[in-house]
Structures are given as structure tokens and as C-alpha cells.
Chain A
Amino acid sequence: GDSVTQMEGPVTLSEEAFLTINCTYTATGYPSLFWYVQYPGEGLQLLLKATKADDKGSNKGFEATYRKETTSFHLEKGSVQVSDSAVYFCALVDNYGQNFVFGPGTRLSVLP
């Protein structure tokens, strides 16, 4: 079945550092790809998405590019802030838009 793999956390960075969280997926067909963020004690918020190969999703300084050749959707941010501390989930949904599959999540801690 479909699956999503993310880099193991926790990731600890200093403020203004560059962030990369790797995400790779296995899926049949042409899934849509997503990054969700979960701040402490809160629910899941959609951060960005890409629905086809070579699409770049971006939001709040975060970016991710749908790379079909490497089946990847790595999350990047040029300069992280303390307020970015959260758990980040990579996810995909299949062709039919039904079953979301989430990665295990990567906890990011940004220190001042």
C-alpha cells in the first residue's frame, strides 16, 4: 500500500538556521502531497500542498517541490523562527482523494 517516510526527529536548530525535513513516498498512480504542521496542544494545520509533479507548494516561508523522479517532497525554510517549533507531518492522498496516509512526523525545536 501507499506509504510516507520522513526523517527521524527531533530536529533542533538555532533561530535563523536553514531547515530541511526529508520526505519520500511510495504510491501507485499520481498522489497529491501535503505538509501538515501540529503546534503543541493543537490540531493539524495544512501548511502547503502540491498536486502534480514539479509543483512547488509554499506558505509562511516554507517550500516543498513534488519530485516524481525521486518520489520526494522535502520541506525547506531558509530561516526558521522559534515560533516554527512544532511537529511536521508529510502526507499523501491517492488519485481518488480519499485515503490520506501520514508520515510519522518530525519534531522541530528552534532555540533562540
Chain B
Amino acid sequence: EPEVTQTPSHQVTQMGQEVILRCVPISNHLYFYWYRQILGQKVEFLVSFYNNEISEKSEIFDDQFSVERPDGSNFTLKIRSTKLEDSAMYFCASGHSYEQYFGPGTRLTVT
């Protein structure tokens, strides 16, 4: 059964560094999403992406964040200058309308 994959599974970075989190969505899906989950807290929507552009974003998704679908298969989330409070689990999801399939997540630790 096809699934969403994410790499790396765990990323450790220093404050102020740039990180890129990678996702490979399910191949025939048209909608792509990023969510984050700070340890022990709820899952928060960051951004949705459709037809090669951002369709919706939350207030968390500020200028430090960007998304890209560089080659038709990968979907990336870039954090330009990481802060301690960016430490979280980041989930990618893909889907059709009304249904999203989540990847296993990337745990980002900012030190």
C-alpha cells in the first residue's frame, strides 16, 4: 500500500541554522500539507499546498518557513533560521479532498 515517507526521521540542528525537511507524498495525490506537534501538545496545521502554490497557511507559518515541490515528487519544508521553539515533530500529509494520509514525521531538535 502506498504511503507518505519523510526524511530524515530525526534532525538535530543549532539555533540559527537552516533546515530542510523532506517528504515524498503518495504519487497520485494533489494536496500536500505540513503540520507540527510540539512534544506533548496537539497537532497544529502549518500550510497546505495545491497546484504548485500555497492554498492556506496558519499564523505559525511566518516568513521563516517556506515550502516547495521542486521536482514533482518531493515536498519540502524549509525553516530559514531555526529557533529553540521550532523543536517539534513535523508531519507531512498528502491526499485528495477530505482525506489526508500522514507520514511518520521528522523529529526536529534545535539546540
Which residues of A line the B interface, CB within 8 A?
32, 36, 42-46, 49, 51, 89, 91, 93, 96-105
In which size bucket is the chain B interface?
A: 20 to 34
Chain A contacts for B35, CB-based, 8 A: 100, 102
In the complex, the answer to whether B43 meets A42 with C-beta atoms within 8 Å is: no
Q: How far is the CA of A45 from the CA of B45 in the complex (A)?
A: 16
Q: Which residues 18-77 of B have a CB within 8 angstroms of A?
A: 31, 33, 35, 41-45, 48, 55-56
In the complex, the answer to whether A43 meets B45 with C-beta atoms within 8 Å is: no
In the complex, the answer to whether B42 meets A32 with C-beta atoms within 8 Å is: no
In the complex, the answer to whether A89 meets B43 with C-beta atoms within 8 Å is: yes
Nearest CB on A from B44, distance (A): 7
Given contacts A97-B31, A101-B45, A102-B42, contact A44 B102 (CB under 8 A): yes
Given contacts A93-B98, A102-B42, contact A42 B104 (CB under 8 A): yes
Residue of B nearest to A107 (CB): B40
**9 A–B contact pairs at CB < 8 A?**
A36-B102, A44-B91, A44-B102, A46-B101, A89-B43, A93-B98, A102-B35, A104-B41, A104-B42
Q: How far is the CA of A44 from the CA of B91 in the complex (A)?
A: 8
Nearest CB on B from A50, distance (A): 11
Chain A contacts for B1, CB-based, 8 A: none
Contact pick for B33, options A91, A100, A105, CB 8 Å: A100
Contact pick for B99, options A43, A44, A49, CB 8 Å: A49
